[in-house]
Amino acid sequence: MWGNTQEVSAPPNAFTNPNANEQKITLCRVGYNRPDTWRFLLSAQLKSAPATAVGDQANVSVWFELYTGIGRSVMRLPFWVTLPGWNWNFGLAVPINVVDWTNQAQAGVATSFTDEVPAVTTTYPIFTDEIVGHDMTLIAHVNFVTDIPGVTQPAIVEVNAQFAPNTHVRPDWMQVDKPPAEQFAGGETRGH
């Protein structure tokens, strides 16, 4: 499953217990049979949610957790990618069908210093559009928090993910001593 689209129904949470009904779903599972560098595209779209009144607040957040491994090593990257999410407070229209998407993950922060006295320090994020892995599992998290009185209607969010090898060189292409029908068989021979 190098790509997938799913709708997630997230029940409301109160601001006093904001993660009680957080929903999560395994969205993609890559088992490639060899290490590779991957590019990715992630998105989410709010499909429906209850409206707020003048004194109410509501927000939906979406983030992605990644497990990636090569050989005997596996790494869990919680909050690997966090999308901006949606707010519709105090009677504003519910932002239905607004798509948040990215093909970058924050990989860390960097700090720079100046030679001035006093020194000026600047910290800024570093982003990457690649990830390494042999086996990868992507989990989408959706959370709906509101103070709408008596609300039971969930927020429905469509989450999407796609992975593609950065450079797709199949081992069968390197079988130069084989006839073209075996060298370019038209499908994967050992990866999936």
Domains of the chain: 3-103+130-178 (2.60.120)
Average pLDDT estimate for 2-15:
97
Q: What is the pLDDT of residue 23?
A: 98
Greater pLDDT, 47 or 120: 47
Q: Answer whether residue 34 shows pLDDT above 80.
A: yes
Q: Model confidence over 53-104: pLDDT tens digits?
A: 999 999 999 999 999 999 999 999 999 999 999 999 999 999 999 999 999 9
Length of the chain: 192
Q: Answer whether residue 192 shows pLDDT above 50.
A: no
Sign of CA dihedral 69, 74, 75, 79: positive
Name the residue among 184, 165, 179, 151 with its Cα closest to residue 50: 151
Q: Answer whether residue 119 shows pLDDT above 90.
A: no
Name the residue among 13, 126, 124, 8 with its Cα closest to residue 64: 8
Percent of the chain with pLDDT over 70: 91
Q: Answer whether residue 146 shows pLDDT above 90.
A: yes
What whole-number distance in Å separates Cα of residue 162 and Cα of residue 142?
A: 18
pTM (predicted TM-score): 0.85
Average pLDDT estimate for 21-29:
97
Structural contact between residues 41 and 90, judged by C-beta atoms closer than 8 angstroms: no
What letter would DSSP give residue 126?
E
Two tokens, residue 27: 């969205």
Structural contact between residues 101 and 42, judged by C-beta atoms closer than 8 angstroms: yes
What whole-number distance in Å separates Cα of residue 78 and Cα of residue 5?
A: 20
| Whole-number average pLDDT of the chain | 91
